[in-house]
Structure 1
Amino acid sequence: MGPVRTPPPAVLGAVEAAAMGLGEGSLAPRVSCLLPTGPGARFLQLPRGVVDSRAGQAAASKRDLEGWSEALTAAVTALRAGGLVAVPTDTLYGVACSACCSAALGAVYSLKGRSQTKPLAVCLGGVADIYKYCQVRVPRELLEDLLPGPVTLVMERSRELNKDLNPFTPLVGIRIPDHAFMRDLAQAFSGPLALTSANISSQPSSLNVKEFQDLWPQLSLVIDGGPIGDVKSPECRLGSTVVDLSVPGKYRIIRPGCALTQTAAILQKKYRLVPSEEPCS
């Protein structure tokens, strides 16, 4: 599958306007929010023809742009209502929810059968957003060299994050997937998204929507972006490389993931960070 790129600003503007119409009161509830109930997930397929006309590539059809806008609007609406949304990323299929909605966070753990002591990552729309939710102790250029990309950067969290998100640790993992839909979704949502893989805990990760069909009944929406990577390759199911950057001058690999070699090279050779075997925090 070829890359799916960002539609023109007018489309994103329309999505943001529609989403904001839901009301500010539903944007960032920290303790409680209503979880949608119903017979199961709605499915929307991302159009394959959307490209970024600003990059000088062929313009997508009006129908494709409308399909992209529809998927974004539906996802933002479901997330702000406290729903769980399955999404494609640059590594695996994931399940996203509002990081500000404590009920939705609990629903993610229940969905996956996940231990309450295992943290959820936070997905943001751009590097600039990291400074609101984290205490950054590395150069901005380092963040921009690794993100967007298949890397989760672990840093000390700020007070802006919901206290019910990973309450057992002062750290948080940040993801900015190199996937146009996920970046658009995070920007249109205008808040932190909790993100985890779309699978039952201890089960293999998912590279297409059929592989997590046992989760469908508990999801509000499934965004089908087509297959991710090579389903026959074990390396494609490793997920993002997780790196602890919470201590100045050091880094620790928490999970090797799919981008270990290039990530370590950037951290050591370009930024002279020292690898650590011990927890950085």
Structure 2
Amino acid sequence: MVRTPPPAVLAAVEAAAMGLGDGALASRVGCLLPSLPGARLLQLPRCVADSRAGRAAGSKQDLEGWSEALSAAVTSLRAGGLVAVPTDTLYGVACSASCSAALGAVYSLKGRCQTKPLAVCLGRVADIYRYCQVRVPREVLEDLLPGPVTLVMERSGELNKDLNPFTPLVGVRIPDHAFMKDLAQMFSGPLALTSANLSSQPSSLNVKEFQDLWPHLSLVIDGGPIGDVKSPECRLGSTVVDLSVPGKYKIIRPGCALTQTAAILQKKYGLVPSEEPCS
């Protein structure tokens, strides 16, 4: 069972429900809250988690468990916490991209270099236009997302300036995972998302593989194993492609969906591979 959140957390959630969740008030309240002493672990109902239909599938009890996990995750995120989540590729750590303190906590947690960017997770393709300068047809976005792809584009002024302040670009993800799509839509703001592992260490395909990070997280959502833990290909993560230059694309990280991503961009839409080396 999820314990009752403290009053300050409830206040932040109430502010979000009133339309203040993506603004300065909710961010300020959340960032000032003390961190929890250790992660809670919530297991998603498997018959729902395994279904692309998400909350449309499963028994009443399963749906209640699904909703409980969503509510707990949103509460933790709005409180400035770090939440471990399953995606369509790997387990990740998410936080509110609007909370500068949470962004700093992610870097500290992973021992990550401050000049390595964090991706942004959104709930809908339409949301991308708020946070990015899109220079490809909408059909390109809809063909690649949701899916195991991170699209790098020029960021807009809507994003927190403390998110990747060293670059004008930002990577955007919409994982093809029912829980993550529901979570991003329910949170209704940009989530910063990175893999659930220490930097330079293997990525995680189940929650036990990053158990050493649990004490520093507010919540761990267990969606079961992702892929084959014995297969190196399953740990490649999303394919990262730069679409910031009109008419061109540049593969930044091959990832797990390189072939199909390149085919869509090049053969279907006529984009030309960039000859510039990846930075």
Q: TM-score, normalised on structure 1?
A: 0.88
| Offset, 1:277 | 2.8
Equivalent in 195, 198, 207 of residue 196 of structure 2: 198
**Counterpart in 2 of 1:267?**
265
Match of 1:153 in 2: 151
Contact 1:153 1:242 in 2 (8 A): yes
- Are residues 133 and 58 of structure 1, via their aligned partners in 2, closer, same or farther at CA, if it must alter by over 3 Å? closer
- What is the number of residues matched between the two proteins? 264
Aligned residue identity for 2:47: G
The separation in 2 between residues aligned to 1:255 and 1:203, in whole angstroms, is: 17
CA contact (8 A) 2:150 2:172 kept: yes
User: How many angstroms apart in 1 are the aligned matches of 2:183 and 2:230?
Assistant: 29
**Cα contact 1:19–1:189 (8 A) shared by 2:** no
Q: Is the 8 A contact 1:40 1:219 kept in 2?
A: yes
CA shift, 1:36, in A, is 3.5
1:210-229 CA distances to partner (integer Å, 9 max, x unpaired)? 00011000000000000000
**Alignment counterpart, residue 229 of structure 1, candidates 224, 227, 230:** 227
Q: Tell me by how many angstroms 1:51 deviates.
A: 7.8
Q: Which residue of 2 aligns with 1:10?
A: none
Equivalent residue for 2:47? 49
Q: Report the Cα distance in structure 2 between the residues aligned to 1:202 and 1:54, rounded to whole angstroms.
A: 31
- Return the offset for 1:37: 2.3
Mapped pair 1:65 → 2:63 = yes
Superposed displacement of residue 204, structure 1 = 0.2
Give the 3 Å change call, closer, same or farther, for CA 171–280 of structure 1 in structure 2: farther
AA aligned opposite 1:251: Y
Judge conservation of contact 1:45–1:223 (CA < 8 Å) in 2. yes
C-alpha distance 59-159 of structure 1, shift in aligned 2 (>3 A)? closer
* Alpha-carbon separation, structure 2, partners of 1:64 and 1:178: 20
Deviation sequence 1:153-181 (CA, Å, 0-9, x none)? 00000000000000000000000000000
TM-score by length of 2: 0.89
Q: Is the 8 A contact 2:49 2:178 kept in 1?
A: no
Q: What secondary structure does 1:160 align onto? A: coil
Question: What CA distance in whole angstroms lies between the structure 2 residues aligned with 1:175 and 1:87?
Answer: 14
Report the alpha carbon displacement of residue 59 of structure 1 after superposing the two structures with TM: 4.7
Residues 191, 248 of structure 1: alpha-carbon distance in 2 compared, 3 angstrom cutoff: same
Provide Cα deviations, 1:95-142, integer angstroms capped at 9, x if missing partner: 000000000000000000000000000000010000000000000000
- For 1:170 and 1:128, locate their aligned partners in 2 and report how far apart those are by CA, in whole Å: 20
Long gaps (5+) in structure 2 = 1-10
Q: Does structure 1 residue 132 correspond to structure 2 residue 130?
A: yes
Runs of 4+ in 1 over 3 A off after TM superposition: 22-32, 51-55
Distance of aligned partners of 1:202 and 1:122 in 2 relative to their CA distance in 1, 3 Å threshold: same
Could you tell me how far apart the structure 2 residues matched to 1:54 and 1:179 are? 7
Alignment partner, residue 250 of structure 1:
248
Partner of 1:14: none
Residue in 2 aligned with 1:167?
A: 165
Instruction: Point out where structure 1 has 5 or more consecutive residues left out of the alignment.
Output: 1-17
Cα 1:170/1:43, change in 2 over 3 Å: same
For 1:242, give the aligned amino acid.
V
Q: Contact between 1:154 and 1:243, CA under 8 Å: does it hold in 2?
A: yes
In the TM superposition, what is the alpha-carbon distance from 1:34 to its structure 2 partner? 2.1
Please tell me the residue identity of whatever aligns with 2:223.
Answer: G
Q: Which residue of 2 aligns with 1:179?
A: 177
One-letter amino acid of the counterpart of residue 128, structure 1: A
Give the alignment partner of residue 208 of structure 1, picking from 206, 216, 237.
Answer: 206
* CA 161–54 in structure 1, closer or farther in 2 if over 3 Å, else same: closer
Q: Could you tell me how far apart the structure 2 residues matched to 1:37 and 1:147 are?
A: 33
Q: Are the counterparts in 2 of residues 51 and 59 from structure 1 also a CA contact under 8 Å?
A: no
Find the counterpart in structure 1 of residue 276 from structure 2: 278
Query: Secondary structure of 1:201's partner?
Result: coil
Q: Secondary structure of 2:32's partner?
A: coil
Tell me how far 1:33 sits from its aligned partner: 1.5
| Other structure's SS at 2:114 match | coil
Mapped partners of 1:59, 1:25: distance in 2: 31
2:77 match: secondary structure: helix
